[in-house]
Amino acid sequence: MRLALAQLNPLVGDLEGNGRLIEQAGLEAAAGGADLLLTPELSLWGYPPRDLLLRPALLERQQLELDRLAACLPSDLAVLIGMAEPIAAAASPSLYNALTLVEGGRWRVVARKQLLPSYDVFDERRYFLPGDQAAVLELERRGRRWRLGLSICEDLWVEEALQAQRLAGADPIGALLNQNLDLLLNLSASPFGQGKLNLRHQLAARAALRLGCPVVYVNQVGGNDDLVFDGASFVVDATGRALCQLPCSQAQLGIWDAIPGPAEPLPPSQPSAEEQLLRILVLGVRDYARKCGFSSALLGLSGGIDSALVALIASAALGAERVSALLMPSPWSSAGSLSDAKALAGRLGLATDTVAIAKLMTAYDDALSAPLAGPPRGLTAENLQSRIRGTLLMAVANQQGQLLLATGNKSELAVGYCTLYGDMNGGLAVIGDLYKTTVFGLCDWIDSPAAAPCRAALGLPASGELIGEAIRHKPPSAELRPDQRDSDSLPDYAVLDPLLKAYIEGLASPEQLIAAGSEPDQALRVHQLLRRAEFKRRQAAPTLKVSGRAFGGGWRMPIAAA
Query: Is the pLDDT confidence value at 382 over 80?
Result: yes
Query: Is the pLDDT confidence value at 90 over 70?
Result: no
CA separation, residue 467 to residues 145, 221, 298, 306, 416 (Å): 57, 28, 18, 10, 26
Q: By percentage, how much of the chain surpasses pLDDT 90?
A: 86
Tell me the domain boundaries of the chain.
2-259, 277-486
Instruction: Name the least confident of 140-144, 205-209, 445-449.
Output: 140-144
Assess whether 159 carries a catalytic annotation: no
In 16-134, which ranges are E strands?
36-38, 78-86, 95-103, 106-112
Residue range 270-296: mean pLDDT, rounded: 96
pLDDT of residue 262: 65
Indicate the class that CATH gives domain 277-486.
alpha beta
Catalytically annotated residue among 103, 113, 412, 479: 113
**In sequence order, what are the residues at sequence separation of 6 or more whose Cβ sits closer than 8 angstroms to the Cβ of residue 86?**
59, 94, 95
Catalytically annotated residue among 65, 85, 103, 153: 153
Query: Is the pLDDT confidence value at 264 over 90?
Result: no
> Rounded to the nearest 5°, which phi and psi values hold at 218?
-120, 125
Assess whether 113 carries a catalytic annotation: yes
> What is this structure's pTM?
0.94
DSSP states along 65-84: HHHHHHHHS-TT-EEEEEEE
Assess whether 292 carries a catalytic annotation: no
Q: What number does CATH give the domain 2-259? A: 3.60.110.10
Catalytically annotated residue among 41, 85, 103, 124: 41
CA separation, residue 486 to residues 161, 226, 393 (Å): 41, 28, 23
How confident is the prediction for the chain on average, in pLDDT? 93
Q: Which helix (H) or strand (E) holds 9?
A: none
